[in-house]
């Protein structure tokens, strides 16, 4: 189940987002609007949810979050953009930090 979050997730929402992969949550984050889509099978599903909500493509970045360890991985096809990021891994340290801040604010310590 993909949820769109503008604030910290509840325990119930976290459980819903963990249904697909059990130990980690696929996320896409709009770093300008500070909105997170999480859950589902693919990062692209989360990206689509954000686009449907009015996000701009260039503001959306994908990562996976493991609630038990707090680890974030920044590798996704969503991040592969010739003009902004030439890798599946999110390379820009400033964008990575903004993505991490939103993920931690919305999903950590539940």
pLDDT tens-digit series, residues 55-105? 999 999 999 999 999 999 999 999 999 999 999 999 999 999 999 999 999
Q: Can you tell me the distance from the alpha carbon of 63 to that of 68, in angstroms, rounded to the nearest whole number?
A: 16
pLDDT tens per residue, range 46-67: 999 999 999 999 999 999 999 9
Confidence of residue 11 (pLDDT cuts 50, 70, 90): very high
Question: Which pLDDT score is estimated for 110?
Answer: 52
Question: Which pLDDT score is estimated for 43?
Answer: 98
The neighbour count for residue 12, using CB atoms within 10 Å, is: 9
């Amino acid at each position: 189940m993909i949820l769109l979050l503008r604030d910290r997730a509840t325990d119930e929402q976290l459980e819903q987002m963990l249904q697909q992969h059990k130990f980690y949550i696929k996320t896409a984050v709009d770093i300008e609007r500070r909105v997170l889509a999480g859950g589902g099978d693919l990062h692209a599903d989360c990206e689509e949810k954000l686009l449907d909500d009015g996000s701009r493509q260039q503001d959306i970045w994908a990562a996976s979050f493991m609630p038990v360890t707090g680890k974030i991985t920044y590798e996704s096809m969503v991040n592969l953009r010739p003009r902004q990021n030439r890798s599946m891994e999110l390379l820009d340290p400033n964008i990575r930090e903004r993505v991490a801040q939103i993920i931690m604010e919305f999903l950590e310590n539940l």
